[in-house]
Chain A
Amino acid sequence: KQEVTQIPAALSVPEGENLVLNCSFTDSAIYNLQWFRQDPGKGLTSLLLIQSSQREQTSGRLNASLDKSSGRSTLYIAASQPGDSATYLCAVKGDVSNFGNEKLTFGTGTRLTIIP
């Protein structure tokens, strides 16, 4: 059974700093990995999607990397801003060679606070 872990559970950093959020998963047979952002009381917003054949994806100040063999992904946020404060979740989709593996397994998230 796939398990996804995110450490730390919470992180506070001063505005302007670069930071890295970590995600690890136990079963390397994944199809893709997705990073989401969730603001308090809101739904999930997709940030980046990395296919299993890719090593990284970039969008603006965000860069996500994937090391499938070691079961790790990182989300790098450059020049952090107070508006980046939110909970960040990673989720993995199983290998679709296994029928029915469309579902995502989520980590518990990292709550990020950017201090002005």
Chain B
Amino acid sequence: DAGVIQSPRHEVTEMGQEVTLRCKPISGHNSLFWYRQTMMRGLELLIYFNNNVPIDDSGMPEDRFSAKMPNASFSTLKIQPSEPRDSAVYFCASSHGTGVGYTFGSGTRLTVV
């Protein structure tokens, strides 16, 4: 098992550009989570899906952020337009049941200049 796979590992983009982050959860996991980590705020949940359906998106900061999960093996987090304050590490995680823990991906370090 390759674990949770995120791409790209690093992204540097100019303010105003669209950014798309990608995640492939562990096969068989039915919950997928997007987190953002910054020095100031620590780890914040942005959104999570259960069986490909968004369950809680209350952590999505504003309309510039959107997330999709078209199938059980793929999810995207899009920021359009990006701003310098979006610079952070974005983590994807998955789990396969309420009684088990999470597995995190290696993260995407986003820098918006």
Q: Which residues of A are at the interface with B, using a C-beta cutoff of 8 A?
A: 31-32, 34, 36, 41-46, 49, 51, 89, 91, 93, 96, 100, 102-109
Contacts and interface: CB of A to CB of B under 8 A. Distances in A.
B61 interface: no
Interface in B61-113: 91, 93, 95, 98-107, 109
Q: Is the interface of B mostly helix, strand, loop or mixed?
A: strand
25 contacts: A31-B98, A31-B99, A32-B101, A34-B102, A36-B104, A41-B109, A42-B106, A42-B107, A43-B105, A43-B107, A45-B104, A46-B101, A49-B100, A89-B43, A91-B102, A100-B55, A100-B56, A102-B33, A102-B56, A102-B95, A103-B45, A104-B45, A104-B102, A105-B45, A106-B43
Given A43-B91, A44-B91, A106 B42 contact: yes
Interface of B: 31, 33, 42-43, 45, 48, 50, 55-56, 91, 93, 95, 98-107, 109
Contacts of B91: 43-44
A96 B105 CA distance: 24
Nearest to A44: B104
B69 to A, nearest CB: 14
Interface of A is mostly: strand
Contacts of B93: 44
Contacts of B56: 100, 102-103
Given A32-B101, A34-B101, A34-B102, A102 B42 contact: no
A16 to B, nearest CB: 30
